[in-house]
Structure formats: C-alpha cells, structure tokens
Structure 1
Amino acid sequence: MLCALSGEVPEEPVVSRKTGTVFEKRLILKYIQENGKEPGTDEELDPEDLLDVKTSRVVRPRPPNFTSLPSLLKAFQDEWDALVLEAYNTREQLSRTREELATALYQHDAAVRVIARLTKERDEARDALSKITVAPSAGGASNGDAMAVDNEGLPEGLVEHVNEVQQQLTQRRREKRPAPENWATPDEVSAFQQTGHTDLSVSQASSLDVESEYAVIGGLDGKADIYSIQGNTVERSLDVGEPVTSTVWTGSKVILGTSKGSVKVLDSGNEVASFQVHAGAVTGLTVHPGGRILASVGVDKSFVFYDLETLQQVSRGYTDAALTSCAFHPDGHFLAAGTQSGDINIFQTNDGAKVVNFHLGAPVQALVFSENGYWFAATGKGQQTVTIFDLRKEGDAAKAKELQTGDAQSLAWDRTGQYLATVGSTGVTVQMYLKKAKAWSEPLRTSVPGTAIRWGTDAKSLVTVNKEGVVSVLKESE
C-alpha cells in the first residue's frame, strides 16, 4: 500500500470511507485542515471519515546499493563530501557573522559617541539659553520653555544717583511748571512746512537724534552723518564699520547701536568705547535723565546698563521675548522695553525687576514717555494707530487713547508733554493734548515720509529722515 499523497509506504496508514484511498495519516490530516476536502475530489472529508489500517511493523530492508563493500565505500565518500561542504558553509557563515557583528559594534560605538556629543551640545545650549531667557513674572504670559535667570542690579553708587535724580525731577513735576515762554504755540506748529532737505552720505537711514542745533543720522550702510539744522548741511561723516540700527546723542557723546550687537561711544567724533554685549542686533538705545546711565536692548532678549562716566557695563537684565525699543521714564526710575511679542515691559532701573507689563497687540515699533510722568505712547508694526497708555492703570483700562495717525515708525514727545510727533510712510503728524478740554487735536499733518523724527529747539522745528538718506526740516516759514 502506498500513500496517495506522498507515494511512499505509510507509517500510519488510514483509508477514506468515501473513496477507499490510502493515505499517510499525518499528511491527510494537514490537508483536511487546510482544504476540508479529499485530495483529487471535491467531496468534503472529515477526520471521522478516516479509518485506521492495522499493519505489522517490520524493519525496512536496506536498499540494494548498501549490500556490497563498494556501495558502502561510495556511501561513506558521499557522506564525507557532504560533511566537508557543510563545514565549509559553516565557516563561511561564521565569517559573515563576525563581519556583521564587527559592523554592529562599530555602529553602536559611533552611536554612543554621537549621543555623548549631542548631550554635551545640549547642555551647552541650555547653559547659553539660560543666559538669554528668563521665566516671565506672575502677571505675564509663559511660553513654557523659559529658564529663570536673575537680573542684575546697578552698583550702589549708581543706585544713589538714580534715586537723587528721581527725587529732583518728581519734585519739579509736582510744581506744575508752565511751558517756557519761547516754546512753540499750536498756531506755530500748525504752520510747519518743509523748509529744507538735504541728501546725506548715509544710505538706508535707520535712526536719528538731535542735540541743540545738530542731528546725527545713522544708516545701515555703516555710516553716520552729523547734520547742521540751521545750516542745512552735513558737517561731518563718520565711518562706523557696522550697520547702525539705533542712535542717541547726549552732551558731547554720540552713541550708536549696530546690527552686529555693538554699542559704540564716540566723543567729539572719536570712538572712546565699544561694547560687544548683545548676541544679535541692538534695537534700541536710551539715556537716563541724569545723563550718566545708558541703556541698550537687543534681539537677544536682554537689556544692558552702562556708566557713561567710567565707560563700563554695570548691569544686565533679561526678558522672555526679543526686545525692539526702549525708553527711560522722565524721572529715570523706570525703563520701558517693547517686545517682538507685542508687550511693553516696565522694569525698575535700580535692580532690573519687572514691575508691570502692557499689551499693545503687535511687535512694538517705537515707544516714548510724556513729560507728565504717567503717559507713554507706543505703536506696533502694521498698525495705523498710536496708543497712549496710562501707567496708573492696568489691563485694557491702561489704554487711555488711540490716535489715528496712519503708519508710524518713529515717535517724539516734546519736553512739555503737549505735542506728540509721528512719522512713517504716510507722512508726519503732530497730535496735541488740550489739558483744559481733556481732548486731543491734530494741528499738523503732512505727506513728508520718514523713518525717524525728533523735535528741534523749543519745539519750533521737526527734523525727519527717510530711508533713502534725505533729511528734512519742518518749521514755520519766515
């Protein structure tokens, strides 16, 4: 009897009740499990349909080719050849396995080295980040990733200076001094017109400041011009060597901030100090009312104080967003800093502690304090308004007024707090606050575009500069 599936004598034969065919039991059970039918037919077949066939178990005879010595020798030779081939294949596989293992170990070692290097770089980055990022105050918004870094306070000598200046200026403000006799009247301001304009050697003008009858204009081409307002001429050009992003003039010192993070102090046209503190562009400079302390802000989220007498950096503070502009309070005890996130943070000058923040709603383009001590004006990128904030209030209530000025890239409040000048791509405006009527008016609006604006002596002129490097003077024609 031969199995219908394997063609060999079955060791455990069974026969199908339906067809009488003989099968090897283990083979037919597997076939039924997979197909459910009998081989060679379409009839269903179940294990119960198989009948065991009882046979006597006998030792199978050795094939005829194993019954002679030559046949045995041939069988042994075949077995030896098979063993030799198997040994060769085993050695070959072992060699490949060793190579694969060596490659895997090398890759593992390389991965460990990379992980160690990345871990070191991560730790270094965290350490660097901790120096430029701080956790916001309880009243501010948190980004979830800020790391707490303490702000530095001023040295004791400068703290005393700040306190003295604050007491003196606050007392003067309480006396409610009237405007100086020679100060420009609303009628004079409303009669302003462009009386002169001059092409500068500076191209891509970015910043402007006025001292007495002179102005300094910085440009992104790495130059700065000293301009005579009365003479309507450029008297001197300075080669800064780096794109100028911010400019202030105090006494005999011209101070320039650059896009490479430098703060350069020039006295009588000569560079007397240079600070490389900011990791990125300097976006704002402002001088303390006492004239001794300079503050700078930058995109690296830090604000830095310098002593202009000793020409040294004296303290540093950090915020949770890139800073875009800054201004000292008229009493000098606060520093306001505008941020890229649309907030205006107020810090104490003495210790750099954040005391309050106001929300503008757009990256802060410019901000300036009023001489009255409790108002400041700010404008954001893309906004067509200038917002007046009241320091005495919080939240939305702090927004005292929104002035429809059009695009405003620079702001300048006169020293009496009467006139707020703005300039942008749509031109120059002057907004006036009528204290008796508690209302705002607009005595002047012109189409002279510009990127920066400042008041001249006694508020009887306005100096503007546009991005092409043309400086203009607006005043009452003679």
Structure 2
Amino acid sequence: MLCAISGEAPQVPVISVKSGNVFEKRLIEAYIAENGKDPVTGEELTKDDLIEVKTARTVRPRPPTLTSIPSLLGVFQEEWDALALETFKLRQALAQTRQELSTALYQHDAAVRVIARLTKERDEAREALAKISVSAARPAGGDAMQVDSTGLPQSVVARIDSTQERLSKTRSKRPIPEGWATSETIQSFKPTATSEPLYPGGKSLAVDSTGDRALVGGMDGVAGVYSVSQGKVIQTLQVGGPVTDAVWVGDKAVVASATGAVKVFENGSEVANFTSHAGEVTALAVHPTGDIVGSVGADKSYVLYDLTTSTPVTQIYGETGILCAKFHPDGHLLGLGGADGQVHIYDVKSGAAAASFPMSAPVTALAFSENGYFMAAVTENSTSISVWDLRKSKVNKILETGTKITALDWDYTGQFLVSGGPNGITVQQYTKATKEWSEPLRSAVPAVAVAWGASARSILTTNKDGVLTVLAQA
C-alpha cells in the first residue's frame, strides 16, 4: 500500500471515500487545507471524506544501498557530484545575470547621456530662438529691423495715413458722447452678474462695441463668446493651444495662442490662421483703422496683419521679448512692453524705433489715453501705474493702488482708467479742467483682465478661474 502523493508506504494511511486512493495522512490534510481537492481526481475533498486505515506498525527497511561502507561512499560520491553540478549551474547563472545587469547599466548610462545631450540641444535651440535675428541692415539709430524689404503695402500705408489725419484733427476736441458714465455712476458700481467658471487659466478679455459680447479664452485651447444679456456662451472657438490674448475687430474675433498661432473667427468659423511667430504670442492690438491687427511674441517681434486680405504684411524684430502691445489712438505709433523693463515705441509705417520709456521691471500692461497725450504702463508685480506724458517724454503721475495690477483699460473719453489684479480693481479718474486724479471706485472683485462695457456704464472682469463678473449700477 503506497501513498498516491509520495509514492512511499504511508506511516498513517487514510483512504478517500470518493476516489478510493490511499494517502499519507499528514500529506493529504496539508493538500486539502491548501486546495480543498483530491490531488488525483481533482474532486472537492474534505477531511471528513478521509477514513483512517488501521494497519500494524512496521519498521521501514534500510535501503540496500546503505548496508555497507562501499555503498555509503558511493552515495556520498553521487551527492557530491550533484552538489558540484548544482554549484556549477549557479555560477553559470550568476555570470549570465551579471552580464545582463552590466548590459542594462550600460544601456541606462547611454540613455542618460542621450537625454542630457538632447536637453542641452533643446536649451541651446531655445536660447538661439530667443536671440533670433535677421541678417539685414538695421535702420540707423533704431533697435529694430524689418524682415521684408518692400515695407508695408501702399494700400495699408494709405489707410494708416488717412486714419491718422482724420483722428488727430478731431480727437482732442471731441465732446463726451451723450449718455456716457459719470464719476457718480461709476461710484455706484457693484457686481451685478457672475458667470460659472468658463475657461480657467486664461488672461484674455475683450468686449465688442455693443458691450454685450465678451470674448474670453483659457488654458485648454478653447475660446468662447459670452453673451452678457443671455448669461451664457453663445459661440465656442477651437484655438488649438492655450489662449494668451483675444480682441474684437468689428464682428471678427481674433485669438492668439501659446503655440504661436493667431486665428481669426467670423460667426464662429475660422477664416484665417497666421503662424508668423516662432514661439508664444503674448498679446494682440487692434489698429484704429479697424482692419489691421498687430501681434507680439516671445520671439522679440511684432507682426501686422491686414484682415481685408487675410495676410501678414510685415514682421519687425527687436532686442527683447515683448509682453504687451497697444496702438496709439492716431494709429501712427505702436507701444510695446518689453521684458527688458522699457516701453518701446515704433513707427508703424517704417518699423523704426521712435522712442523708449524706461521702467523698473518687465512691462506687463499698456494703455493709451484717447486724447493721445498720456500712456499708462504697469510693470511686473507692481502696485502702481506710471502715467507718461508723451509730449514731454516724462512721467506725469504715479498712481498708487496698493494692490497688484495685471491689466489696464482706458475708456473712450480718456477720463477713466480701470486697473485689475488678484486683489481687486480700481478706477482712476483724470479731470481735464483741474488736471487732477481721483479714485471713484475700488472693488474687491479679483481680475486678471478688465474691459469697459458700452458707454463705460459697466466694467467686465475675468479671474484666474475663468469666472466673468459684470460691475454696474444695481
């Protein structure tokens, strides 16, 4: 009688009532405890299914190979041979493992070296891109160069000249439009409407001439047209990259992205896509002609686009990255906020540097007064607004708000300058008769972008979470 598991005579034999097989009791109980089955048939088996077989205890005979010294020596020799063979196999496996480990370490080291080389090449490429220049003669006394030798098309120059002539004659004497907001009106502004989070992470906000459609965008590569009266997004625009700025040009929405693209949308459909910048587009500006748009970027250049023909007409390179941009109300000058801590003024028609205004840090926001005499500028992490007198090329006033400023917007009449930041917004008022500044409004509504509504009777803001807030008379 042999155990079905060990093949040897069992010391305590038991038999399965299901299969009839004989087992060593300790072996079958251990197997049942682990598997719960008969090891031979695979049937379910429990300890209750085992019956102990009563047999007389017998002394197990010594194997015949261990009955003499020569036999024992032979067994020892066989055991030694088996041990030597096992040791040899272990050494062989160890050598192979060491070789595989050495190869893996070499491959890892090679991969690290490749990654380091590629990282270095990437950094060098980025540095070269930041220092990009064009090997052509620069205008004398200027810090810019024009890429295309032909300059602006005559049709564009003619539009710029006619716009400048028309606006420069009438702007300073233009009366305040009927129904425009007064200081008392702005003092009563309160948050009257708040949207759900629209496009988190964005820093762009543009309001059309009606004051009802707000153009906003976010980090997810989507922009939208939000209707203030309806309180919802009425158009969704696929930009394809994090939105960095957006402007209205009539009924067309122009949106810039961190991928270097500038896209034009009309009635919700993309009608033009410009990729002139070699890097992030940081800001957009609308020319007073109403059909020319400028974009600036981290590649130290600005580009002008003619939307009547949907083509870029010139690209001008400077010496520093550009963070913000605004056209002078006459349209003959373009102000650029530089990462070098200066406001650079360019002649739009020639692309030559016309002037520069030193600031204390990178310039992050710009705004021109509608009368064309003043320029407001804000530097990175600043709590004050520097108001420059363009006629005298010096600072006319430092407006201290006490809170960090990230955005500026001057109203159409040149009376009210709204500033926004993470801790709230303020409105500064310039009174022409007394040449004095006052502060009719201070609100705790956080903002990364601000814009005036129709007739300055409302202020629209958007914060870092993409929430759009309207401040107006309650």
Shared fold (TM-score, shorter chain, > 0.5): yes
After the TM superposition, which residues 128-143 of structure 1 pair with which residues of structure 2 at under 5 Å, given as runs? 129-131=132-134, 138=141
Asked if 2 retains the 8 angstrom alpha-carbon contact of 1:294 and 1:306, the reply is yes
Partner of residue 462, structure 1: 459
Question: What TM-score do you get using the length of structure 2 for normalisation?
Answer: 0.70
- SS of the residue 2:367 aligns to: strand
Q: CA deviation at 1:130?
A: 2.5
Work out the CA distance in 2 between the residues paired with 1:132 and 1:431.
Answer: 45
Q: CA deviation at 1:218?
A: 1.1
1:433 aligns with 2:436: no
Asked if 1 retains the 8 angstrom alpha-carbon contact of 2:215 and 2:224, the reply is yes
Q: CA RMSD in A?
A: 2.4
Partner of residue 418, structure 1: 415
Partner of residue 379, structure 1: 378
Question: What TM-score do you get using the length of structure 1 for normalisation?
Answer: 0.69
Change (3 A) 1:126 1:284: closer
Work out the CA distance in 2 between the residues paired with 1:205 and 1:196.
Answer: 19
Work out the CA distance in 2 between the residues paired with 1:314 and 1:336.
Answer: 18
Partner of residue 475, structure 1: 472
Listed one character per residue, the Cα deviations across residues 193-217 of structure 1 (whole Å, up to 9, x for unaligned) are 1011001431212201000211010
Partner of residue 10, structure 1: none
Work out the CA distance in 1 between the residues paired with 2:452 and 2:135.
Answer: 35
Change (3 A) 1:466 1:391: same
Partner of residue 268, structure 1: 267
**Count of residues in Structure 1 that have an aligned counterpart in Structure 2:** 346
Q: CA deviation at 1:233?
A: 2.2
Asked if 1 retains the 8 angstrom alpha-carbon contact of 2:139 and 2:145, the reply is no
Partner of residue 166, structure 1: 164
What amino acid does structure 2 have at the position aligned with 1:369? F
Listed one character per residue, the Cα deviations across residues 392-417 of structure 1 (whole Å, up to 9, x for unaligned) are 123xxx11111112211110100000
Asked if 2 retains the 8 angstrom alpha-carbon contact of 1:133 and 1:320, the reply is no
Asked if 1 retains the 8 angstrom alpha-carbon contact of 2:129 and 2:299, the reply is no
Work out the CA distance in 2 between the residues paired with 1:347 and 1:132.
Answer: 20
1:404 aligns with 2:404: no
Q: CA deviation at 1:237?
A: 2.4
Listed as ranges, the gaps of 5+ residues in structure 2 are: 1-120
Change (3 A) 1:436 1:312: same
- Between Structure 1 and Structure 2, whose CA radius of gyration is higher? 1
Asked if 2 retains the 8 angstrom alpha-carbon contact of 1:423 and 1:449, the reply is yes
Listed one character per residue, the Cα deviations across residues 10-45 of structure 1 (whole Å, up to 9, x for unaligned) are xxxxxxxxxxxxxxxxxxxxxxxxxxxxxxxxxxxx
- SS of the residue 2:162 aligns to: helix
Partner of residue 297, structure 1: 296
After the TM superposition, which residues 34-49 of structure 1 pair with which residues of structure 2 at under 5 Å, given as runs? none
Change (3 A) 1:304 1:391: same
What amino acid does structure 1 have at the position aligned with 2:162? E
Asked if 2 retains the 8 angstrom alpha-carbon contact of 1:325 and 1:367, the reply is yes
Partner of residue 113, structure 1: none
Asked if 2 retains the 8 angstrom alpha-carbon contact of 1:188 and 1:460, the reply is yes
Listed one character per residue, the Cα deviations across residues 213-243 of structure 1 (whole Å, up to 9, x for unaligned) are 1101011111112111222222232222211
Partner of residue 36, structure 1: none
What amino acid does structure 1 have at the position aligned with 2:364? Q
Work out the CA distance in 1 between the residues paired with 2:451 and 2:177.
Answer: 19
Change (3 A) 1:155 1:382: same
Work out the CA distance in 1 between the residues paired with 2:398 and 2:136.
Answer: 32
Q: CA deviation at 1:359?
A: 0.9
Change (3 A) 1:243 1:127: closer
Identity, % of aligned positions: 42
Asked if 1 retains the 8 angstrom alpha-carbon contact of 2:198 and 2:467, the reply is no
